Structure 1
Amino acid sequence: MKAKKKLNQEWEDFKQNAPDYIFAEPMKNDLLNWRAKLLGPPDTPFEGGIFILDIIYSDEYPFKPPICIMKTNMFHPNISSTGEIYISILQNDWTPALTIRSILLTIFSILDDPVMDNPTNDKAAQCFKKNRTEYDLVVREYTLKYANESPIHDENEQDLLSTMLHTEINN
């Protein structure tokens, strides 16, 4: 029950302080299972994409980190072919002080600035290191192919995402 109480507090905070380029909420009112959508950062190969991820919490949260799975197929050094996101704050550097907001901001920040210390997708990591231009072209291709249509389940969410995209593009 501590996990759900903390997640409820985090959700209330997130609703008040969410960045314009991140949308997240519990799925089907289940505080242990969240769906998030990140807008691709402007002026990057991810621009214009909507990247969907699931965040799965255990009853041991906040003492155990959530599992974050990228549902949108992408070419990235820190995201495995199965979508598992490998960043230090979700493994060895986890601390109970981290929140849904800090997790999502970190994931957003690594989109165009991957952590190369311990990549999980070797092909993407090698491409990034050897030829950044080629890497950017592959990322852009993936963005256009996989991140342009999202499995949106209700019209309100579609309207929100459309508003978010227009706000981000016009700023």
Structure 2
Amino acid sequence: MSAKRVNTTATARLRQDYLRIRKDPVPYVKAAPLPSNILEWHYVVTGPENSPYEGGTYHGKLVFPREFPFKPPSIYMITPNGRFKLNTRLCLSISDFHPDTWNPAWSVSTILTGMLSFMLEKTPTLGSLETSDYTKRQLAAQSNTFNLKDKIFCELFPEDAERIREDIRKREEEMIESTRQAVQNTNQSSSNRNANGGEDRNQGLIGSAISNILVIVGLAVFAYTVKYVLRTIVE
């Protein structure tokens, strides 16, 4: 009877938190529970401007105990980020590593705001990493395609998943246009050289051969790039 009452309390509180975070979103943060288990929430953190995480999207999860809000949740990061280890319980003042500092009045919004604040710091803790800002920026650039591989991310945050797909499509179109322009410019340059009466036949042949080589190289680089992007998304 007691366990049922505690579980009902946790469920009611988490439903209230979900309504609150939807009505009053937290900057840079989204969160939603699993449809099948309200005790497991997934969140998405968008890298703040002027930080090493800018442009990145970071997926993680919160696992709440049945005694919530009287006991704190476990906090995990799923997307490579350079600040936290992956799929590892993080030792934060708002996590289950420190029940002595936990405040039952803290909501999901409070937890995620605190987690983001700690992410932007460099204070070491159990579950944290030490990496350069360059590494963090590299991981930020790779984070979006990484998240598309995660089924839960795509199901709980469909708008973010579609935004990422659209960004990838735009980059592919830009690569196609860039390659097309390069080939067109090369062909035009070759035509101009061949039309110049001051060049002899050998020079014309050499210029044409070079142009053809550049066209082939350009197409090969483009094909490899598109293949890599698509393979990254599918894997």
1:21 paired with 2:28, answer yes
Q: Which runs of 5+ in 2 are unaligned?
A: 1-7, 168-235
Q: Is the 8 A contact 2:91 2:127 kept in 1?
A: no
Aligned to 1:148: 144
Rounded to whole Å, the distance in 1 between the matches of 2:128 and 2:92 is: 15
Question: After superposition, where does 1:85-96 map in structure 2 within 5 Å?
Answer: 85-90=90-95, 91=98, 92-96=100-104
> 1:91-133: per-residue Cα shift (whole Å, max 9, x none)?
242111111000011111222223x2x5225751xx5xxxxxx
Q: Answer 1 or 2: higher relative contact order, Cα 8 Å, separation at least 6.
A: 1
Separation in 1, partners of 2:134, 2:154: 30
- 1:89 and 1:71 map into 2 onto residues whose CA distance is 18
- Counterpart in 2 of 1:83? 88
CA distance in 1, matches of 2:88, 2:81: 8
Segments of 4+ in structure 1 off by > 4 A? none
TM-score (norm 2): 0.57
Identity of aligned residues (%): 22
Residue 169 of structure 1 corresponds to which residue in structure 2?
none
CA contact (8 A) 2:78 2:86 kept: no
CA contact (8 A) 2:90 2:127 kept: no
After TM superposition, list the pairs within 5 Å mapping 1:115-134 onto structure 2.
116=123, 119-121=125-127, 124=130
Match of 2:117 among 102, 105, 109: 109
Structure 1: tracts of 5 or more residues without a match: 128-134, 167-171
Q: Is contact 1:50–1:148 with CA below 8 Å preserved after alignment?
A: yes
- For 1:83 and 1:123, the matched residues in 2 are separated by 12
- Cα distance, 1:38–1:81 mapped onto 2, change above 3 Å: closer
Structure showing greater Rg: 2
Instruction: Return the TM-score normalized by structure 1.
Output: 0.76
Contact 1:73/1:83, CA 8 A, preserved across alignment: no
Q: How many pairs are equivalent?
A: 149
The Cα shift of 1:61 comes to 0.5
Q: Of Structure 1 and Structure 2, which has the larger fraction of its residues in helix? A: 2
Looking at structure 2, the residues matched to 3 and 52 of structure 1 have their Cα atoms a distance apart, in angstroms, of: 23
RMSD (Å), alpha carbons: 2.4
